[in-house]
């Protein structure tokens, strides 16, 4: 009815306003378009055809096309794709790897190398039970398979099966170098209430190991930072985060953990320069948008919209891979507590790392629903996890019960 | 590489994964497939990521890592052949072959997509549509096809993956009534958002509560006089645009849309000017009729964009037309009582009647220039 009122009053400015609003409503709906010119660049490929990686992939693909049942070529190609998926954060490459392994994908008992590779690709898509079955077969057939044992440890940690993880780490101790065996156990101890000892063991093994690759350094330093936080030593944690940050590689996990640390410390302004170039990564964009919202930065709205459309696209495809992030998005950026809690609960069924625990506790607290967070409270009890922030949140949730 | 150092590398990967299994989040490969079924006719739009097409058939011809529109254009035939070979539509045991009709581009949340529109036909009216989707199934088993299937007013969705490559959709029989109401709603909606039609009508209706005597406007004495004046104008406008709408929708007459749109803008300018500098007064219904013929062509183009169901042409046409009338009547019944009540006031006679008419002249004048010269001044 408002349009009619405007017309009967009949002022041109009102009319123009109405027209502008109508066109805005249309523009909000993105639509296919005809690019104005042949030279318009529509897409940048992440790997250029001339790059050494691309050349290697092309060569391997060619070999595999000529001989699709060449297992060594297929496993090597899948391995390269898996590395690329981790580096670029793009699950497409996992699909390409799966395609390379197609002749062995549905076999009940494929040869060992194909079996382990298959498990690694499966866990990427969060098929933890399928991956674990394959890895159990692999370690049974080859008890000295370090790779299979380390992936078993990784999955057991994600699912909070700490006794199993300890057995995996101990198996590794017999076959692996000092730093990795210690790293495996320290990661476990650091999560399960022995952060001080884990910190000491890991930093000593790190000092003993001498020259490590930047990847290993970043991993160790990030773990040391986390352990420091669990011991309540924020100053030491920050030193480790900064040292890891200045290693010459990009590590999305480090950036995420470091940003979370800064957000917890109430320093969102320092998050922005850290993440400003990471628009493409959903998890880092989430942290960037949280920092921007706290600072009331102009970009916040745009980034929140981008995240919303990405989560909608994932929902459309039936994906449940990023429920932890989606829960945090709903809780922190949209204020949709109810949905956040539902997502965090769903996520906890599959993944039980400290970050998963934290979002579930926070969502349950926001909804004043201690029963919803009971699983995490039990986990805290059982694991002895020390993080002071997490324990404080748990106390507040428990207080609601009384 | 020694076995030990390979094992070490593997362990690094696993250790990194210890804490990063969900950290690397990025949208996986999806395509967006929209299919519309009308009778035996099938049409649709398929959005496929340029990155995926590049992996499958190679788009970056000069190898610089950038995909330009020119490079995509050069591969359009190949894109159509590759993708349509991996989409099979069947109805009652027979194929429904489709072919590409148009290519565009679009940006989704994860990058640029090729947009391919297509159409085709099944041998008979579709009751159950079976869709087999195997795009990229051999290259990326994680790829999924997200389907939106439209039939009549209803929309269904589906997700295709290698495990669920063929799916059948039983289409609801669309009742004639629901189709009629559907097009009726579109008619109402169009008059509601069709500012040019509303402004034209208002220009003719503004003087209905006034009477021109001796070169100056005075208020009409009885409501019935204003009512009959409005009745005649609205009826003749309706009859006129119904005639041309039907002729154009049935494909019996066709005029270039730029000419039609410019003529509609001209009609608004003239009708509003006539209020300020009266030329035609007593026979405004004839003006309504004459220009109504032009507006009918405008409605027809909307109806064409909506897509006319070949099996229910008459239902759609009558439904849309009646919808337009209902919308018009709503506007008139909102306008007339207010205008009649205010007709003797300064507000109505100076501000609404003269000021409003001049405002309409200005806006429609801008439209006229835009439409005649194909340029943008304001965005209607």
Neighbours of B267 (CB within 10 A): 27
Chain B 179-218, residues with CB within 8 Å of chain A CB atoms: 192-193, 195, 198-199, 202
Residues of A in contact with B380 (CB under 8 A): 19, 22-23
Q: Say how many Å lie between the first and final Cα of chain B, rounded.
A: 67
Give yes or no for residue A374 having a pLDDT over 90. yes
Do the Cβ atoms of A330 and A340 come closer than 8 Å?
yes
Kindly determine whether residue B106 and residue A325, on different chains, have CB atoms separated by under 8 Å.
no
Instruction: Give the chain A residue whose CA is nearest to the CA of B21.
Output: A124
Kindly determine whether residue B68 and residue A39, on different chains, have CB atoms separated by under 8 Å.
yes
Per-residue pLDDT tens over the stretch A256-284 = 999 999 999 999 999 999 999 888 788 88
Per-residue pLDDT tens over the stretch A309-334 = 888 888 877 777 788 999 999 999 99
For residues B90 and B210, state if they share a domain.
no
Residue ending a domain, choose from B137, B155, B170: B170
For residues B215 and B243, state if they share a domain.
yes
Per-residue pLDDT tens over the stretch A193-246 = 999 999 999 999 999 887 778 888 988 999 999 999 999 999 999 999 999 999
- Give the predicted TM-score (pTM) of the model: 0.68
Decide if B20 is inside a domain.
Answer: no
Query: Can you tell me the mean pLDDT for A124-135?
Result: 91
Decide if B380 is inside a domain.
Answer: no
Domain count, chain B: 2
Half-sphere exposure of B263 (CA within 13 A, CB side): 15
Do the Cβ atoms of A314 and B27 come closer than 8 Å?
yes
Per-residue pLDDT tens over the stretch B229-261 = 888 888 899 899 889 988 888 878 888 888 888
Decide if B258 is inside a domain.
Answer: yes
Decide if B11 is inside a domain.
Answer: no
| pLDDT confidence of residue A6 | 29
Kindly determine whether residue A50 and residue B63, on different chains, have CB atoms separated by under 8 Å.
yes
CA distance B119 to B37: 10
For residues B135 and B213, state if they share a domain.
no
Per-residue pLDDT tens over the stretch B166-188 = 999 988 776 777 778 888 888 88
Chain A 218-257, residues with CB within 8 Å of chain B CB atoms: 219, 222-223, 251-253, 256
DSSP 3-state of A250: coil
Chain A 133-192, residues with CB within 8 Å of chain B CB atoms: 146-147, 150-151, 153-154, 157-158, 172, 175-177, 180, 183-184, 187
Residues of A in contact with B189 (CB under 8 A): none
Residues of A in contact with B352 (CB under 8 A): 8-10
- Asked if the C-beta of A104 comes within 8 angstroms of chain B's C-beta atoms, the answer is no
Decide if B130 is inside a domain.
Answer: yes
Decide if B102 is inside a domain.
Answer: yes
Contacts of A149 (CB under 8 A, 6+ apart): A139, A168, A171, A172, A175
For residues B133 and B246, state if they share a domain.
no
Kindly determine whether residue B355 and residue A321, on different chains, have CB atoms separated by under 8 Å.
no
Query: Can you tell me the mean pLDDT for B263-279?
Result: 87
| pLDDT confidence of residue B376 | 67
Per-residue pLDDT tens over the stretch A45-102 = 887 777 888 889 999 999 999 999 999 999 999 999 988 887 777 788 999 999 999 9
In what side-by-side order are the strands of the sheet with B166-170? B94-95, B87-91, B128-133, B166-170
Decide if B95 is inside a domain.
Answer: yes
Q: Residue B275: which domain range?
A: 176-373
Residues of B in contact with A217 (CB under 8 A): none
CA distance A263 to A267: 6
Residue ending a domain, choose from B170, B205, B239: B170
For residues B259 and B367, state if they share a domain.
yes
Decide if B248 is inside a domain.
Answer: yes
Residue ending a domain, choose from B125, B152, B170: B170
For residues B211 and B339, state if they share a domain.
yes
CA distance A361 to A392: 10
Do the Cβ atoms of B86 and B135 come closer than 8 Å?
yes
| pLDDT confidence of residue A24 | 33
Query: Can you tell me the mean pLDDT for B267-274?
Result: 89
Neighbours of B87 (CB within 10 A): 20
For residues B115 and B230, state if they share a domain.
no
Radius of gyration of chain A (CA): 25
Per-residue pLDDT tens over the stretch A295-311 = 999 999 999 998 998 88
Kindly determine whether residue B66 and residue A91, on different chains, have CB atoms separated by under 8 Å.
no
For residues B164 and B184, state if they share a domain.
no
CA distance A107 to A104: 5
Nearest by CB to A92, from B29, B199, B339: name it.
B29
C-alpha distance from A267 to closest chain B C-alpha (Å): 22
For residues B145 and B193, state if they share a domain.
no
Residue B152, sorted as left (phi over 0), alpha (psi -120 to 50) or beta, turns out to be left
Residues of B in contact with A172 (CB under 8 A): 11
Determine phi and psi for B100, rounding to 5 degrees.
-70, 140
Per-residue pLDDT tens over the stretch B64-75 = 889 999 999 999
Largest CA distance in chain B: 108
For residues B145 and B186, state if they share a domain.
no
| pLDDT confidence of residue B380 | 42
Give yes or no for residue B6 having a pLDDT over 80. no
| pLDDT confidence of residue A5 | 29
Percent of chain A with pLDDT over 90: 67
Instruction: Give the chain A residue whose CA is nearest to the CA of B106.
Output: A32
For residues B301 and B182, state if they share a domain.
yes
Give yes or no for residue A4 having a pLDDT over 80. no
Kindly determine whether residue A10 and residue B141, on different chains, have CB atoms separated by under 8 Å.
no
For residues B222 and B288, state if they share a domain.
yes
pLDDT band at residue A2 under the 50/70/90 scheme: very low
Give yes or no for residue B77 having a pLDDT over 90. yes
Kindly determine whether residue B339 and residue A8, on different chains, have CB atoms separated by under 8 Å.
yes
Domain residue spans in chain A?
342-402
């Amino acid at each position: 009815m408002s349009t009619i009122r405007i017309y009967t009053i009949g002022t041109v400015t009102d009319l123009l306003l109405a027209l502008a609003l109508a066109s805005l409503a249309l523009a909000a709906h993105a639509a296919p378009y005809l690019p104005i010119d042949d030279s318009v660049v529509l897409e940048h490929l992440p790997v250029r055809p001339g790059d050494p990686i691309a050349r290697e992939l092309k060569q391997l693909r060619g070999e595999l096309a000529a001989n699709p049942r060449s297992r060594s070529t297929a496993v090597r190609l899948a391995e390269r794709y898996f590395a690329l998926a981790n580096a670029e954060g793009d699950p497409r490459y996992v699909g390409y790897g799966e395609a390379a392994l197609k002749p062995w994908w549905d076999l009940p008992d494929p040869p060992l190398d194909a079996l382990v590779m298959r498990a690694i690709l499966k866990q990427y898509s969060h098929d933890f039970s399928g991956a674990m079955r394959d890895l159990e077969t692999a370690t049974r057939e080859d008890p000295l398979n370090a790779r299979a044992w380390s992936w078993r440890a990784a999955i057991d940690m994600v699912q909070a099966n700490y006794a199993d993880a300890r057995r995996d780490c101990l198996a590794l101790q017999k076959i692996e170098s000092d730093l990795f065996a210690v790293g495996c156990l320290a990661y476990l101890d650091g999560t399960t209430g022995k952060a001080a000892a884990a910190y000491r063991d890991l930093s000593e093994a790190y000092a003993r190991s001498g020259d490590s690759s930047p990847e290993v350094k970043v991993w160790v330093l990030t773990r040391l930072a986390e352990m420091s936080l669990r011991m309540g030593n924020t100053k030491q944690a920050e030193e480790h985060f900064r040292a890891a940050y200045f290693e010459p590689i990009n590590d999305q996990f480090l950036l995420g953990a470091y940003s979370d640390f800064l957000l917890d410390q109430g320093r969102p302004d320092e998050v922005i320069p850290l993440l400003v170039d990471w628009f493409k990564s959903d998890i880092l964009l989430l942290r960037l948008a949280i920092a921007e919202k706290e600072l009331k930065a102009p970009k916040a709205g745009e980034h929140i919209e981008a995240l919303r459309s990405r989560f909608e696209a994932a929902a459309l495809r039936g994906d449940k891979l990023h429920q932890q992030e989606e829960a945090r998005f709903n809780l922190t950026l949209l204020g949709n507590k109810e949905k956040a809690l539902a997502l965090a609960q769903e996520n906890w069924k599959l993944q039980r790392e400290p970050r998963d625990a934290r979002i579930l506790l926070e969502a349950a607290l926001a909804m004043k629903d201690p029963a919803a967070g009971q699983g995490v409270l039990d986990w805290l009890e059982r694991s002895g996890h020390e993080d002071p922030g997490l324990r404080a949140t748990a106390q507040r949730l428990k207080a609601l019960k009384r | 590489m020694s076995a030990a150092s390979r094992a070490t590398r593997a362990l690094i990967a696993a250790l990194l994964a210890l804490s990063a299994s969900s950290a690397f989040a990025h949208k996986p490969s999806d395509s967006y497939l929209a299919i519309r079924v009308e009778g035996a006719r099938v049409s649709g739009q398929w959005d496929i990521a340029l990155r995926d097409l590049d992996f499958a058939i190679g788009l970056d011809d000069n190898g610089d890592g950038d995909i330009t529109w020119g490079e995509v254009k050069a591969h359009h035939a190949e894109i159509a052949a590759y993708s349509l070979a991996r989409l099979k539509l069947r109805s009652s045991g027979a194929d429904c072959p489709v072919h590409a009709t148009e290519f565009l581009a679009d940006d989704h949340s994860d990058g640029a997509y090729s947009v391919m529109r297509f159409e085709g036909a099944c041998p008979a009216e579709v009751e159950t549509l079976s869709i087999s989707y195997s795009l990229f199934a051999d290259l990326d088993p994680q790829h999924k096809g997200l389907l939106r299937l439209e039939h009549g007013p209803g929309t269904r969705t589906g997700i295709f993956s290698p495990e669920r490559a063929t799916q059948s959709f039983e289409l609801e029989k669309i009742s004639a009534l629901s189709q009629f109401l559907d097009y009726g709603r579109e008619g109402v909606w169009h008059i509601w958002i069709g500012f040019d039609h509303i402004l034209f009508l208002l220009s003719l209706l503004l003087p209905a509560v006034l009477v021109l005597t001796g070169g100056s406007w005075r208020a009409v004495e009885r409501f019935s006089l204003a009512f009959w004046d409005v009745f005649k104008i609205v009826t003749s406008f309706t009859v006129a645009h119904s005639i041309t709408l039907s002729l154009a929708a049935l494909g019996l007459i066709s005029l270039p849309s730029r000419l039609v749109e410019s003529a509609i803008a001209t009609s608004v300018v003239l009708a509003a000017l006539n209020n300020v500098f009266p030329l035609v007064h007593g026979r405004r219904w004839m003006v309504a009729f004459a220009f109504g013929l032009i507006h009918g062509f405008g409605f027809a183009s909307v109806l064409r964009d909506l897509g006319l169901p070949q099996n229910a042409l008459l239902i759609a046409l009558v439904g849309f037309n009646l919808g337009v009338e209902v919308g018009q009547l709503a506007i008139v019944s909102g306008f007339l009582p207010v205008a009649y009540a205010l007709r003797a006031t300064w507000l109505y006679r100076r501000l609404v009647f003269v000021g409003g008419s001049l405002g309409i002249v200005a806006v429609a004048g801008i439209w006229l220039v835009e439409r005649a010269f194909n340029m943008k001044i304001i965005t209607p």
